Amino acid sequence: MSQSTVRKQITTSLPHGAKGTALLLCMTMLSGCSMFSGGHKPVQAPKMASAETLYNYGIDALHSRRYQLASGEFELLQQNYPYSSYTGNAELMEGYAYYLQDEYGQSVQQLERYLQLHPTSPDAAYAFYLRALCYYEQIADVQRDQQGTVEAMDALEEVVTRFPQTSYARDAQLKIDLCRDHLAGKEMLVGRYYQQQRNYEAALNRYQRVVEDFQTTNHVAEALHRLVEVYLQLGLTDEARRTAGVLGYNYPDSKWYRFSYNDLRENNLLPNRAPTPKSAPQGFFSRIWNAVF
């Protein structure tokens, strides 16, 4: 049927005033039809890659250290295939990709989302461990606030509690010990500052906390020696001798015991049965160097 015939049939039964509008509508419709029936093909949107393909793209990007691209591929998979069997793995691997980019906040957020959606997943242990690593990597120098160290310890202890028989738990325990050593180092730093400022009560509190709360760290011997120093500065000779005895019993080869032993001897407070340090005492310069650094 020709365009003029169609146009005539549509407009014949319309009122005179509406014929112009109908004619314009008819021409538009016919023009649209001619686009599909003629040589013009409709523009088609590009096909989305399959979930498996997107996941493999992400893994390949991780292997080639293109971590930002990897996180983008995993995110694209989740957006377009929320119910795919690859989606859970993509959520976890996106968190891993953020971790490799040092984007620890985004990694924690993604891993927590994964754990909320898949609490019983076989990979939950790894997700908890990776989340703990994000906190661990952000531990600040002892000169700064140690709230991040506390958060790292909490996250690592959760790994040990939830998954005690895994390799993740064993590594987490090692890192917990390092965190504790770090916190003890902070206490010693503050204690030495108070001691230098002659705020002896505050210094005692810091050193005693190291001895009582961080007994497995490398700072206990020094903390005991600093307690001996403070007690002597306060004139508390009995406490100084008793603390030096604890130091000598537990750390007889420590340089800190040698220092305390010499301090007591210089003040004529050395008990008759005090164990003699097994190693020769260091010179004056070495002692000052260790005390400062």
Question: pLDDT of 98-117, one tens digit each?
Answer: 999 999 999 999 999 999 99
d(CA 6, CA 98): 62
Which range of residues forms the domain containing residue 132? 122-197
Q: Of 166, 197, 228, which closes a domain?
A: 197
Residue 153 lies in a domain: yes
| DSSP line for 19-72 | HHHHHHHHHHHHHHHHHHHSSPPPP-PPPPPPHHHHHHHHHHHHHTT-HHHHHH
User: Which of 139-153, 179-193, 222-236, 242-256 bottoms out in mean pLDDT, i.e. has the lowest?
Assistant: 139-153
Instruction: State whether 84 and 135 are in the same domain.
Output: no
Instruction: State whether 159 and 104 are in the same domain.
Output: no
Residue 244 lies in a domain: yes
Instruction: State whether 76 and 133 are in the same domain.
Output: no
Residue 85 lies in a domain: yes
Q: What is the pLDDT of residue 271?
A: 74
Residue 183 lies in a domain: yes
Residue 165 lies in a domain: yes
d(CA 150, CA 153): 5
Instruction: State whether 184 and 232 are in the same domain.
Output: no
Q: What is the pLDDT of residue 27?
A: 41
Please check the confidence at residue 5 and state whether its pLDDT lies above 50: no
Instruction: State whether 128 and 192 are in the same domain.
Output: yes
d(CA 189, CA 31): 83
Residue 30 lies in a domain: no
Residue 44 lies in a domain: no
Please check the confidence at residue 209 and state whether its pLDDT lies above 90: yes
Q: What is the pLDDT of residue 15?
A: 42
Q: Of 60, 89, 115, which closes a domain?
A: 115
Instruction: State whether 110 and 135 are in the same domain.
Output: no
Instruction: State whether 288 and 246 are in the same domain.
Output: yes
Instruction: State whether 229 and 285 are in the same domain.
Output: yes
Contact 217, 181 (CB under 8 A): yes
Task: Please indicate whether residue 46 or residue 194 has the higher confidence score (pLDDT).
Answer: 194
Instruction: State whether 170 and 145 are in the same domain.
Output: yes
d(CA 18, CA 270): 119
Q: What is the pLDDT of residue 123?
A: 96
Q: pLDDT tens-digit profile of 261-275?
A: 999 999 988 876 667
Contact 111, 102 (CB under 8 A): no
Average pLDDT of 232-247? 94
pLDDT band at 140 (very low <50, low <70, confident <90, very high): confident
Residue 241 lies in a domain: yes
Instruction: State whether 182 and 138 are in the same domain.
Output: yes
Please check the confidence at residue 21 and state whether its pLDDT lies above 50: no
pLDDT band at 40 (very low <50, low <70, confident <90, very high): low
Q: What is the pLDDT of residue 130?
A: 97
Average pLDDT of 114-133? 96
Q: What is the pLDDT of residue 41?
A: 58
> DSSP alpha helices (H): ranges in the chain?
3-12, 19-37, 51-63, 67-80, 87-100, 104-117, 124-136, 147-162, 167-196, 200-213, 220-234, 237-250, 255-266, 284-292
Q: What is the pLDDT of residue 291?
A: 44
Please check the confidence at residue 85 and state whether its pLDDT lies above 90: yes
pTM of full prediction above 0.85: no
User: Which of 163-167, 209-213, 283-287 bottoms out in mean pLDDT, i.e. has the lowest?
Assistant: 283-287
pLDDT band at 43 (very low <50, low <70, confident <90, very high): low
Q: Of 68, 94, 115, which closes a domain?
A: 115
Q: Structural domain tally of the chain?
A: 3
Instruction: State whether 232 and 281 are in the same domain.
Output: yes
> What mean pLDDT is reported for the chain?
83
